[in-house]
Structure 1
C-alpha cells in the first residue's frame, strides 16, 4: 500500500464519519444484527469500522473493516429476520485493489483508527 495519510481535510472528514458510524455499530440496537454477524465470523474481533453502506431495495449491504486485517461484507434483509444474511470476507489487501483513490484514503484512515483502537485496548 503505497499511499500515506497527510492530514488533509478529506481525511479529517472520513475520520469523523468513521468515528460516528463505529459508535452506532457498537451502540445502536438497529445495528445489533450486523455486530453479531461480525462477532460470530471473527470471535477475536477487537474493533470494526464501517467502510461502505449501500442501502438497496429491501436490504442493506454494509462493508466493515475488522481489526486491521479483513473486510467483511454483509447483505442483510431489512424486513425479514429469517432470511439468511449473505456474508463475504476478504483480506484487506484484496479489497484495496481497484478502488478509487478517495475510497483508498478512507480505508487508510480506518486502518489508522483500527490500529489505535487495538493499541489502546491492550
Structure 2
C-alpha cells in the first residue's frame, strides 16, 4: 500500500511512534518486550499494532522489524501463567483486514523500515 500523507496516516504515525517509545522505555511494558526479544533475538524495532485490554489479561499485537507480527496475551495479575504467543508473517497478517487497519500497518511498516535504516 502506498502512503499518501493523509491526516489518518499522520495520526497513526504519531500513535505508533508514541507506542514504540512506551514499549522500549516504560517498565510496565518489560514483560512484552522480553517476550518479543526471546522470540526474535535479532529484533531491532517493534511497534504496537493493536491493544485489547480484557478483564484479566492484555492482548497486544506488535509489528517486529518489517517481517512479522507477534500477538501476545499476558495475564495482568498472575505472572506465573505462561503467555500465549502467536507469530505471523506480515503477509498472512494483512489478509482480510479493514482498509483503515491496512493503512495503520503500512505506516508501521514505513516506520520500522526507517528504524532499520537508521539503526534505531
The answer to whether TM tops 0.5 is yes
* Matching residue within 15, 20, 23 for 1:22: 20
Alignment correspondent of 1:79: 77
Instruction: Give TM-score scaled by structure 1 length.
Output: 0.97
Q: Does 1:90 align with 2:94?
A: no
Task: Give 4+ residue runs of structure 1 displaced > 4 Å after superposition.
Answer: none
How far did 1:89 drift?
0.1
In structure 1, the residue matched to 2:42 is 44
Gaps of 5+ in 1: none
Aligned to 1:31: 29
CA distance in 2, matches of 1:109, 1:25: 17
Corresponding residue number in structure 2 for 1:115: 113
How many residues are treated as equivalent by the alignment?
120
Aligned alpha-carbon RMSD (Å): 0.8
TM-score (normalizing by structure 2): 0.99
**What is the rounded CA distance, in whole Å, between the counterparts of 1:32 and 1:12 in structure 2?**
27
